[in-house]
Chain A
């Protein structure tokens, strides 16, 4: 994935907030995915299409860390979420 890739979370997934987490039921893989507070924030932000650059920028403001530091943690997370089928690329970046 490039940092200009636009991502979007999969629509229609059943999820429940729990304490600081969110638990998502991923039916195609028969898995529950639990995201901690940070993962949940990213999940919420990706309700609408966002480029990875923009996502890291928003998070760096919220968590007061450099975008590079954010990206180092967030990119593997996004890759995992994508592999699980919870995120996909939005057509905006495929044009």
Chain B
């Protein structure tokens, strides 16, 4: 992706989309650093993740989908590798800002590869395409007790 193509593509986005994209890039950078430096359980605590799944009720799906799009897109453009875990954490943080619950799943497949994906309401927002064949080992959620979002 060269600069001209990227900026032309950016020009086609709405203001909301552009600002979400920028937020997502920043969060992905922060999260990546945290993952490199800090054990997961401290990251989980800071992000506000508790063991268990969050609501499956489809409230605020448009906002959730927008933020999922922003993180997935930003991850494709970061000069560093934005892992599945980084993307899941970033989207959980973006959603928490809007008081939208999110569940982060950690799993392995039969070859013992590890994967992380994030679900909010009825949709898997990050890590969905690689999810096949993976078994959930752990689930952590933000805003676990929120039954449905305000909007």
Contact = CB atoms under 8 A, between A and B. Distances in A.
Contacts of B51: 14
Main secondary structure of the interface of B (DSSP, over half): strand
A18 B40 contact: no
A16 B137 contact: yes
Interface in A4-40: 14-16, 18-19, 23-25, 27-28, 30, 32, 34
Interface residues of A, number: 13
A11 to B, nearest CB: 13
B103 to A, nearest CB: 13
Interface in A28-86: 28, 30, 32, 34
B108 A34 contact: yes
B110 A18 contact: yes
Interface of B: 39-41, 51, 106-108, 110, 112, 114, 135-138
23 contacts: A14-B137, A14-B138, A15-B137, A16-B107, A16-B108, A16-B135, A16-B136, A16-B137, A18-B108, A18-B110, A18-B135, A19-B110, A23-B108, A23-B135, A25-B106, A25-B137, A25-B138, A27-B39, A30-B40, A32-B108, A32-B114, A32-B137, A34-B112
Given A16-B137, A23-B112, 10 more contacts: A15-B137, A18-B110, A23-B108, A27-B40, A28-B41, A30-B39, A30-B40, A32-B108, A32-B137, A34-B112
